[in-house]
């Protein structure tokens, strides 16, 4: 049972669906150690708020996240969103296509960096990575 003083249950449910069991609890546990108030705001706004909206489907939402992370150079964080996209039915080919489409907006050198992270993720069997895993 989730400690509702430290964790917002809808955020944990969404995170378990997107990233796999335990990832978001670990993520928010780390944030709780630093600042419990910020952790709860983050949980309610992002995972239990924006990520739970039904205006667009979750696979599309993850494609948006991958694009934004690629464009802003947050390549390492893309891995968790590759995993989330896959959890919502995205194929590896679709995820790669999202990255390739960014060539127009950020240039080939940045896209090559994103492809490198993608290839590492694929060769690792799509293993989860990110702040909730300690990476």
* Domain range summary for the chain, segments of one domain joined by +: 9-52, 58-128
Fold (topology level) of 58-128: AhpD-like (1.20.1290)
Please tell me the predicted confidence (pLDDT) of residue 130. Answer: 58
Q: Are 7 and 25 in contact (CB under 8 A)?
A: yes
Please tell me the predicted confidence (pLDDT) of residue 134. Answer: 55
Please tell me the predicted confidence (pLDDT) of residue 54. Answer: 87
The CA distance from 48 to 74, in Å, is 22
Please tell me the predicted confidence (pLDDT) of residue 18. Answer: 84
Q: Which residue ranges in the chain fall short of pLDDT 50?
A: none
């Amino acid at each position: 049972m989730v400690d509702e003083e430290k964790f917002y249950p809808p955020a944990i449910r969404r995170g378990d669906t997107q990233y796999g069991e335990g990832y978001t609890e670990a993520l928010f546990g780390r944030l709780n150690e630093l600042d419990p108030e910020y952790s709860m705001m983050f949980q309610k706004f992002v995972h239990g708020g924006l990520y739970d909206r039904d205006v667009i489907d979750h696979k599309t939402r993850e494609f948006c996240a991958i694009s934004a992370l690629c464009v802003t150079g947050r390549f390492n964080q893309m891995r968790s969103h590759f995993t989330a996209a896959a959890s919502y039915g995205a194929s590896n080919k679709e995820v790669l296509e999202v990255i390739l489409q960014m060539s127009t907006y950020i240039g080939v050198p940045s896209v090559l960096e994103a492809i490198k992270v993608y290839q590492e993720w694929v060769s690792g069997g799509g293993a989860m990575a990110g702040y909730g895993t300690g990476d």
